[in-house]
């Protein structure tokens, strides 16, 4: 159960900067996920920790001791890949036993250890089967058992469920978290699937273009993201540009470029009158107002561009003035709106996220690749 620190770690491949200035700590026994689009640097970070590649600069500490120059076999790390890496000519038992035999374990020790870990992953009755006779989930379980049997203290999981069907994937996520917590391991998991990261992790690191954007708990990321990209990448949100027009002890007022005025009551303290800001709100947090509800603050008016019924929800796209559009998600019960229908939505002050206007503009802050 080591604690791991990344101190100013960067990795360049030629002129391409894969990750830059990573500074973070993975706590003892923590289940941490790296989440981000393709090419964001999440797998590179995992490979730096495993020792498969070395950093261009910076330090990686394992319980305070630098390990950045150690070869992979001297780090107590187990790597679980999407592609299983199972020997096809060995049965499941032999696959788990192999690394122990290579390391010179006694026959009794091998037997005891293999049985213990096959049981842990629920394969005790399938030990005699060959890889061709079992499904993808059991192949991955075998891979996990083999890594654990070797005595790994830190588990690195690189898109480990990518090859599994949806239902199996979810069972496996729960199982993996149970194992990690039961054995008090530290786990670092790479995924591009936000629901997977949300469901299994103690904390999630959001990555973009080689940088860590935010490291926070799943609920923090969903309800209180500190960065525009986190709010955009985790869940779904709309963003509008505005200026702080008024401030007191209880709230600030933001006037958007379309002329709508919003009272904001959360995390507004550091903003000043005249500040250029981005106002965000979750797509599911907007409320459609009926005609008789006349309000002035915290509303947006527009025309329906499209309203698609999706069974468990509806996606309604709304055209605003100046050619902009936003999208909201609604429960499916209300009648579907027609294109061109006038619509008014309300966003309550406590549901508005406020961000400083990004140095390179909103489009750049939201860019996924």
Partner 1 sequence: MTRILLENVSAEHKSGANLIDVSMLVEDGEYVAVLGPTGSGPSELLKVIAGLLPVTTGKIFLDEKDVSDLPPEDRHIGMVFEQFNLFPHLSVMDNLLYGPRMRRSDIEKKKKIAAEIINMVRLNGREDAISRELSGGMQQRVGIARALVADSQLLLLDQPYRALDAKIRAEMRLEVRNIVKGIGISCLHSTHETEEAMLVADKIAIFNAGRLQQIGTPEEVFNFPNTEFVASFLAESNIWDIEIKDNVIILDNTLNIKYNADLFPEDKYSRMVLRQHSIDLFSEKDQIPNDWNGFHGKITRVRLLGEFIRITVNVEGKEFIIRELLNPDLRDPLLLVDKELWVGFPVDEVKLF
Which chain residues interact with partner 1 by CB under 8 A? 37-38, 165, 192-195, 198-199, 218-219, 222-223, 232-236, 282-285, 306, 308-313, 315, 317, 329, 331, 348, 350-351, 368-369
Name which of 6 and 233 has its Cβ closer to partner 1: 233
Nearest residue (CB) to partner 1, 7 versus 222: 222
Tokens at residue 28, please? Answer: 């003892």
DSSP string over 157-183: EESTTTTS-HHHHHHHHHHHHHHHHHT
Residue (256 or 330) nearer to partner 1, CB: 330
Kind of pairing, strands 186-191 and 31-35?
parallel
Cα 365-187-119 angle, rounded to 5 deg: 145
Q: Are 8 and 58 in contact (CB under 8 A)?
A: yes
Question: Cα–Cα distances in Å, from 6 out to 71, 83, 317?
Answer: 17, 27, 42
Q: Considering beta carbons, is residue 126 or 313 the nearer one to partner 1?
A: 313
CB of 166 to partner 1, least distance (A): 8
Please identify, using beta-carbon distances, which residue of 98 and 223 lies nearer to partner 1. 223
Least Å from the CB of residue 184 to partner 1: 21
As a whole number of angstroms, the distance between CA 283 and CA 329 comes to: 5
Number of C-beta neighbours around residue 199 at 10 A = 14
Residue 111 or 327 having the CB closest to partner 1:
327
Q: How far is the CB of 40 from partner 1 (least distance, A)?
A: 9
Smallest separation, CB 209 to partner 1 (Å): 13
Closer CB to partner 1, residue 68 or residue 351? 351
191 φ, ψ (degrees, to nearest 5): -155, 155
Nearest approach, Cβ of 140 to partner 1 (angstroms)? 16
What minimum distance in Å lies between the beta carbon of 214 and partner 1? 15
Which sign, positive or negative, has the C-alpha torsion 337, 341, 347, 351?
positive
Residue 53: CB minimum distance to partner 1, A: 23
228 vs 219: CA distance, rounded Å: 16
CA distance 163 to 143: 13
The encoded tokens of residue 168 equal 């199996």
């Amino acid at each position: 159960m080591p604690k791991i620190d990344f101190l100013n770690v960067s990795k360049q491949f030629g002129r391409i900067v894969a990750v830059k200035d990573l500074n973070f700590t993975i706590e003892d026994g923590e289940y941490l996920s790296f989440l981000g689009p393709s090419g964001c640097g999440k797998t590179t970070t995992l490979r730096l920790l495993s020792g498969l590649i070395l950093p261009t600069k910076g330090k990686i500490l394992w319980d305070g001791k630098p390990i950045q120059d150690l070869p992979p076999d001297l780090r107590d790390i187990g790597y679980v890949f999407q592609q299983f890496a199972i020997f096809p000519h060995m049965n499941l038992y032999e696959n788990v036993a192999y690394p122990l035999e290579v390391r010179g374990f006694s026959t009794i020790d091998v037997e005891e250890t293999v049985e213990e870990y096959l049981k842990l992953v629920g394969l005790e009755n399938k030990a005699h089967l060959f890889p061709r006779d079992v499904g993808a989930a059991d192949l991955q379980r075998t891979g996990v058992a083999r890594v654990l049997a070797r005595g790994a203290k830190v588990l690195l999981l690189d898109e480990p469920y990518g090859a599994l069907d949806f239902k199996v994937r979810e069972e496996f996520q729960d199982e993996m978290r149970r194992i990690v917590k039961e054995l008090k391991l530290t786990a670092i998991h790479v995924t591009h699937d936000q629901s997977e990261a949300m469901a299994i992790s103690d904390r999630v690191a959001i990555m973009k273009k080689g940088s860590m954007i935010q490291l926070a708990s799943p609920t923090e990321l969903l309800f209180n993201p500190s960065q525009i990209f986190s709010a955009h990448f985790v869940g779904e949100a709309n963003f509008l540009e505005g200026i702080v027009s008024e401030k007191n002890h209880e709230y600030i007022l933001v006037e958007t470029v379309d002329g709508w005025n919003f009272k904001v009551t959360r995390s507004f303290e550091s903003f000043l009158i005249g500040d250029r800001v981005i106002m965000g709100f979750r797509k599911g947090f907007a409320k459609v107002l009926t005609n008789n509800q006349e309000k002035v603050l915290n509303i947006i008016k527009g025309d329906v561009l499209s309203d698609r019924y999706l069974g468990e929800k509806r996606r309604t796209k709304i055209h605003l003035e100046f050619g902009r559009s936003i999208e909201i998600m609604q429960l499916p019960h209300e009648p579907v709106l027609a294109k061109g229908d006038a619509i008014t939505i309300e966003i309550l002050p406590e549901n508005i996220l406020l961000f400083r206007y990004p140095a390179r503009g909103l489009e750049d802050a939201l860019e996924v690749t």
